[in-house]
């Protein structure tokens, strides 16, 4: 919702809106500002009801926000599958519980107090630091609210702040929690390790047919065909539409003449500039440069300029904002000192130290670019027309084939594809931009479902229809015998590597020299120092770090390597306990822990209110508003 609201507000309006809503959204979810009337309620909390109208409005607003984030339309069906509808309802139930409890204990605020809080809120201040009535009225207009409706929202927000302040004010972070967290996070260890040369030391025997068959029978699920789906996709992209766009030679010539400069290569100059407080100082500096032979950069430094202030870079004439400076910079000779220029913002001297000549384009060398640009523009306009026609056809109940024939679009029929967009032969099934977007939609859409269009690349759309689903099947043993053999050998090799690693670990535990044990394993001794739990140094893995921090000083253990082909054997050479935290770091840690405690406390508090007041959910109304009742038919 915040993203949707941000798109509708800017400047002061954005500040006013966010100052009111962010805090309460972060903790309580979205406010039920308006009182709706409908034929039922989706939930009851104590004596308060959450109306169908309110729930539907809040849910759809959340969907708009998720759609903006995902850059695709998130439907009610998607919301049900992801549990978003239940999440929104849970937020509204928690908020309603607080509101109902406030009513039960006669907790409230006067309108005068609410207005005073509003006027004192710095988030509602204008440029002069005072409450901005103009900005406030603009906000109301954008939100479509009356002042009384907005104040009702503000009242709810202020009441929640009273609740949260009362509940959270006494939250204390125990010193023991700080010490434990510091000890856990900041203890460091020096770790010695080496990698077993499994290729040199491990030789897994060739398995016989009986062993292969046994392994196959025990691991049938590993030798299954993937799920395949048969589907079709109607494609409309500017790239494909451009093929049928007709551009005449006259159109190309007219467009070229109108935009000729955009195809030219402009002259570029590396410009240096010194700014002065007045013309007299600039004139004196020019004399020192031209007549006295002083260095340009030395004069710049004498006038308080840094090298970054002087160098404007390699620029075109249009990139210089001040027209007088631009005219001078592109008129003087290389390495010459300009006359004093009274620019728009400052009095300056200019020097050019590099000139890259420009080049004027010709029609013959650029006509293909011009034609392509015109075709793209026409195809882009045509794309929207095609999209509208496709949607009209879908709404009229026409098949994809009928729509494709009428609208002149390509319909791709895919007999079978897996989640990677490959057919049973391993070939890609879609020759379109970003095919993975289509594949993802195919595998989250049930057969017969009217799916929303999905964006293809940056300039196209696809309409998907899943025809059927072919469930995974067991591959016959004879067709996967080679795969089974490779799996058996790999499994045996891993077992032997683990067995060897265990023996090497025992040798280290018994006190053998680390370098000798490493040499016997075909490895090279290595060491990392001052490693923390949240750091994974080169040569080790997260699993290895977890094991290392569970070992005592001098203890040894092993873990798989990153590629999981062999194992790393480790020994703990040094343990350095966490020291006293610096003041700033300690304050930061205390703040983080306190916020976590406060969040847990708020959740527990709201949950207890819901239990005390009683919550009832109307599953029938919930199914109706989310469309689950239709989907079930």
Q: What was the pLDDT predicted at 435?
A: 93
Interstrand relation of 41-45 and 615-617 (parallel, antiparallel or unpaired): antiparallel
Return the CATH number of the domain spanning residue range 265-356: 3.10.50.40
Q: What was the pLDDT predicted at 485?
A: 94
Nearest-10 crossing angle of helices 84-104, 12-28: 90
Q: Which residues, given as ranges, of the chain have pLDDT below 70?
A: 1-39, 70-72, 127-128, 142-145, 160, 164, 167, 628-633
Using alpha carbons, select from 434, 439, 437, 410 the residue that is nearest to residue 422. 439
Cβ atoms of 383 and 238 closer than 8 Å: yes
For 80-114, letters b (16+ CB in 10 Å) and e give: beeebbeebbbbbbbbbbbbbbbeeeeeebeeeeb
Residue 177 phi/psi, 5° resolution? -65, -40
Using alpha carbons, select from 43, 53, 78 the residue that is nearest to residue 63. 78
Q: What sign for the dihedral angle of Cα 121, 123, 124, 129? A: positive
Give Cα separations from 231 to 406, 418, 430, 473, 524 (angstroms): 20, 11, 11, 19, 54
Q: What was the pLDDT predicted at 3?
A: 32
Q: What was the pLDDT predicted at 13?
A: 32
Residue 131 phi/psi, 5° resolution? -55, 130
- pLDDT tens track for 232-258: 999 999 888 888 888 999 988 998 888
**What gap in Å lies between CA 375 and CA 125, rounded to an integer?**
50
3-state secondary structure (DSSP) of residue 385: helix
For the chain, the structural domain boundaries read 2-169+612-632, 188-220+481-576, 228-243+375-470, 265-356
**What gap in Å lies between CA 390 and CA 398, rounded to an integer?**
9
Q: What was the pLDDT predicted at 72?
A: 66
Task: Provide the 10 A C-beta neighbour count for residue 590.
Answer: 17
pTM of the model: 0.53
């Amino acid at each position: 919702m915040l993203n949707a609201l941000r798109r509708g507000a800017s400047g002061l309006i954005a500040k006013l809106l966010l100052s009111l809503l962010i805090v309460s959204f972060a903790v309580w979810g979205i406010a039920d500002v308006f009182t709706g009337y409908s034929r039922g309620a989706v939930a009851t909390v104590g004596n308060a009801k959450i109306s169908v109208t309110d729930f539907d409005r809040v849910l759809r607003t959340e969907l708009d926000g998720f759609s903006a984030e995902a850059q695709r339309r998130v439907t009610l069906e998607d919301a049900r599958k992801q549990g978003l509808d239940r999440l929104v309802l849970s937020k509204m139930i928690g908020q309603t519980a607080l509101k109902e409890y406030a009513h039960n204990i006669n907790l409230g605020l006067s309108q005068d107090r609410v207005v005073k809080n509003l006027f004192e809120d710095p988030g509602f201040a204008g440029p002069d630091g005072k409450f901005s009535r103009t900005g406030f009225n603009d906000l109301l207009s954008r939100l479509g609210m009356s002042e009384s409706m907005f104040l009702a929202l503000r009242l709810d927000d202020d009441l929640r702040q009273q609740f949260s302040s009362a509940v959270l004010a006494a939250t204390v972070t125990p010193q023991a929690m700080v010490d434990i967290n510091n000890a856990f996070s900041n203890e460091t260890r020096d770790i010695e390790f080496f990698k077993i040369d499994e290729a040199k030391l491990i030789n897994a025997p060739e398995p016989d047919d009986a062993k292969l068959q046994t392994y196959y029978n025990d691991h049938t699920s590993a030798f299954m065909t993937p799920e395949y789906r048969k589907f079709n996709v109607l494609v409309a992209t500017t790239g494909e539409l451009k093929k049928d766009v007709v551009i005449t030679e006259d159109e190309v010539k007219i467009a070229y003449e109108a935009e000729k400069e955009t195809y030219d290569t402009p002259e570029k100059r590396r410009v240096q500039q010194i700014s002065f407080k007045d013309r007299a100082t600039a004139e004196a500096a020019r004399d020192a440069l031209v007549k006295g032979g002083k260095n340009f950069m030395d004069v710049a430094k004498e006038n308080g300029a840094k090298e970054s202030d002087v160098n404007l870079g390699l620029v075109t004439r249009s990139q210089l904002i001040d027209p007088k400076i631009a005219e001078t910079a592109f008129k003087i000779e290389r390495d010459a000192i300009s006359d004093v220029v009274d620019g728009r913002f400052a009095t300056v001297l200019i020097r050019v130290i590099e000139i890259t000549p420009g080049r004027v384009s010709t029609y013959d060398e650029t006509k293909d670019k011009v034609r392509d640009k015109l075709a793209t523009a026409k195809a882009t306009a045509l794309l929207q027309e095609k999209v509208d026609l496709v949607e009209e056809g879908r709404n009229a109940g026409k098949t994809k084939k009928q729509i494709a024939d009428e609208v002149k679009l390509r319909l791709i029929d895919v007999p079978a594809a897996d989640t990677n967009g490959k057919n049973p032969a391993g070939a890609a099934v879609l020759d379109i931009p970003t095919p993975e977007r289509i594949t993802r939609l195919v595998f989250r859409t049930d057969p017969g479902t009217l799916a929303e269009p999905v964006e293809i690349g940056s300039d196209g759309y696809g309409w998907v229809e899943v025809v059927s689903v072919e469930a995974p099947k067991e591959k016959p043993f004879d067709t996967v015998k080679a795969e089974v053999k490779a799996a058996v050998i790999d499994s045996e090799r891993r077992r032997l590597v683990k067995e060897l690693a265990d023996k090497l670990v025992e040798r280290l535990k018994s006190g053998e020299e680390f370098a000798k044990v490493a040499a016997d394993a075909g490895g090279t001794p290595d060491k990392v120092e001052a490693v923390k739990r949240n750091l994974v140094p080169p040569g080790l893995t997260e699993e290895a770090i977890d094991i290392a921090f569970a070992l005592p000083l001098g203890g040894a253990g092993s873990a798989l390597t990153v590629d999981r082909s062999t194992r790393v054997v480790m020994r703990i050479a040094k343990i350095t306990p966490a020291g006293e935290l610096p003041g700033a770091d300690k304050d930061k840690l205390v703040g983080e822990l306190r916020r976590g405690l406060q969040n847990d406390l708020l959740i527990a508090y709201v949950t207890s209110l819901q239990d005390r007041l009683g919550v009832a959910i109307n599953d029938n109304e919930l199914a109706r508003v989310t469309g689950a009742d239709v989907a079930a038919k």
